[in-house]
Structure 1
Amino acid sequence: MNQSMFIVWRESVEALLVIGILQAWVSQQSQGNRLARYLWTGVTLGVLLSGLLAALILFAGEAMSGSANEWFQAALVLIASLLIVQMVSWMHRHGRTLKHDLRRHADSHLARQGGLGLLLLAMLAVSREGSETVVFLYGAGARLRGPQLGLFAVGGVSGLVLATLTISLLHSSRRFISWHRFFVISETILLMLGAALLVSGTERIGGQLLAMDLPEVVYRGVGEALWDSSELLSDSHGLGGFLAGFTGYRATPSCLTLLVLVGYWLAVGGWLRQRATGKIPCPS
């Protein structure tokens, strides 16, 4: 539930931010009422495209069985992890100029294609956020069943409500949290979630490797735990369970899991050092 709530919250905030910028631009145009219809048609089509992607992913997952399904789910989880890192990187590069870039693109599309250009811009922007959300949610909840799946869905709805409240708060007051601080905090949590998804995908792949006829060293690296810290902090419930879902913490990590987790944070740490003097989103 926590994962789905955060994913939907963060992605919805970004989508609502884009829609808000375009809506403000439309309100300044001489044909604002007509352009608003194009804008919201584009938003609706973007949501529908995201829904279509969700249906295709679910259909593909249901159509596969056994090992093929496990490999498919592992691939989606790994893609979700990479998309999270890519999204954080994209916001670092374009966050500060997002408002200017969207307005410039809107002017350009309107000049070339009229209202249809604005419709296309809104559709692509919303479908991008929606598609990322679909992949992230599938990666985080692919193994859930029954009551857990229900809680996961409740978390998603809660995230959408929370996103609306967040946008209202960010626009109405800077006393509690600024755009700069919001993006820094949310990107940090996103990177931790990316690590958790990467570990989950690695474990799925490890499970498939254990079923193959491979050298003994592979079985030891994939299946044997390096240590067991369950008595200190179990990863099945409480704080440990929360850390497992959001950071990839494991009480009994294998060599493969540890290498993947350490490699991920070394790569992210190096990237963050390079970006230390870069641009932080502040789309005011």
Structure 2
Amino acid sequence: MGNALFIVWRETVEAMLVVGILHSWLKQHGHGTGMRFLWGGVAVGVGLAILLAFAIVGIADVLTDTGLEYFQLGMVGVAAVLIVQMVFWMRAHGRKLKRELESSLAQAQQQANWWGMLVVVALAVARESSEAVVFLYGLGTGEGGNPLFWLMLPLGVLLAWGTFWLLQQSSRFLTWQRFFRISEVLLLLLAASLLVNACERAINLDLLPTLLDPVWDSSALLSDNGSVGGFLATFTGYRAQPALSVVLAYGVFWCSVLFGLRRQAR
């Protein structure tokens, strides 16, 4: 449940960042027409994400039990990859995002091409919303029937509004840079958890050998069925009795991510 809340919160804040930058620019330059296209782009982006959600649910409904297992495995894997891609993308474009968006708006103003701005907004919002749809499906394959899982959606949006307001106040306690750095770490932990989930699904489908199962048993110290261990299991991928192939995949994931981040920083 906490994972769903975090995903909705993080993705909504990022979408609000894009919309907020464009809204501030339009308000500063007094473009009432541009405002209408801005909100139109937001509506189109959300609509595209809703269509994606219906498409995913529709595909899942027509699959057989085995086919559904493969489909869910693929969605969990895609969600993990998208999370890592999002972290690297924001690191590469975060600092110049505001400048690029304002440049696009200025060009649209000069050419009187507000439809171009609508497309930019729609794609930006659709990107964040669609990522959230994929993440939530990957997280909710085992929790979709729990009503508390769906309660996380409005709670996440509400929390995002509060976070965005705090960030806009230029607080020394919560700056955009600090927000992205903290959320990056949490996102990567969540991606690692999804990777472990995908590996275990692949093992159940006989697509991945266990090699050695279990490698260790730390249930006496911290069981992944308890409250604390269960939280770590869902949010970080912790397992008290992991298979060797899962441990290797987990290690390769973090080595690859840390190497990529260091290389990107250079």
TM-score in terms of structure 2 length: 0.95
Query: Aligned pair in 2 of structure 1 residues 113, 74: CA closer, same or farther (>3 Å)?
Result: farther
Q: 1:151-170 counterparts in 2 under 5 A? A: 151-170=148-167
Deviation at 1:275, TM superposition (A): 3.3
- State how far apart, in whole Å, the 2-side matches of 1:62 and 1:231 are: 40
Structure 1 residue 120 and structure 2 residue 110: aligned? no
Q: Which amino acid aligns with 1:153?
A: W
**Deviation by residue 1:224-273 (Cα, 9 ceiling, x = unmatched):** 22222112111123111111111111111011111110110111111122
Deviation at 1:109, TM superposition (A): 3.5
1:42 equivalenced with 2:41 (yes/no): yes
Q: Which stretches in structure 1 are left out of the alignment for 5+ residues? A: 211-217, 278-284
User: Tell me, what secondary structure is at the counterpart of 1:28?
Assistant: helix
Answer whether contact 1:110 1:118 (CA < 8 A) is retained. no
Shift of 1:112: 4.2
C-alpha distance after superposition, 1:89-148 (max 9, x if no partner): 0001000111001111222334446221111111111000001000111111112253xx
SS in 1 for 2:211: helix
* 1:178 shift after superposition: 1.3
1:35 CA drift (Å): 1.1
Match of 2:18 in 1: 18
- Cα distance in 1 for partners of 2:69, 2:163 equals 36
Matches within 5 A, 1:1-284: 1-30=1-30, 32-112=31-111, 114-146=113-145, 149-209=146-206, 220-221=210-211, 224-276=213-265
Distance of aligned partners of 1:40 and 1:219 in 2 relative to their CA distance in 1, 3 Å threshold: closer
- The C-alpha deviation readout for 1:194-222, integer Å capped at 9, x for no partner, is 00011111111111017xxxxxxx75527
* Mapped partners of 2:23, 2:117: distance in 1: 11
Task: Find the aligned partners of 2:144 and 2:114 in 1 and give their Cα distance.
Answer: 44
The gaps in structure 2 that reach 5 residues or longer are: none
SS of alignment partner, residue 209 of structure 1: coil
Partner in structure 2 of residue 282 of structure 1: none
Q: Residue 66 of structure 1: CA displacement?
A: 1.6
CA RMSD of aligned residues (A): 1.6
Instruction: Say whether the 8 Å CA contact 1:109–1:118 is kept in structure 2.
Output: yes
Distance 2:74 2:148 in 1: 24
Instruction: Measure, in 2, the Cα distance between the counterparts of 1:194 and 1:19.
Output: 26
Quick check: 266-275 or 119-128, which moved more? Answer: 266-275
Mapped contact 2:15–2:128 kept (Cα < 8 A): yes
Contact persistence 2:209–2:245 (CA under 8 A): no
Contact kept, 8 Å, 2:210 with 2:245, in 1: the verdict is: no
Aligned residue pairs: how many? Answer: 266
Superposition TM-score, scaled by structure 1 size: 0.89
The 1:232/1:58 distance shift into structure 2, 3 A limit, reads: same
Of all paired residues, the percent bearing the same amino acid is 45
Change (3 A) 1:89 1:219: closer
Answer yes or no: is the 8 Å Cα contact 2:203–2:210 preserved in 1: no
**Is the 8 Å Cα contact of residues 193 and 246 (structure 1) preserved in structure 2?**
yes
Secondary structure at the aligned position of 2:218 is classed as coil
Structure 1 counterpart of 2:117, which letter? L
Higher RCO by CA contacts (8 Å cutoff, separation 6 or greater): 1
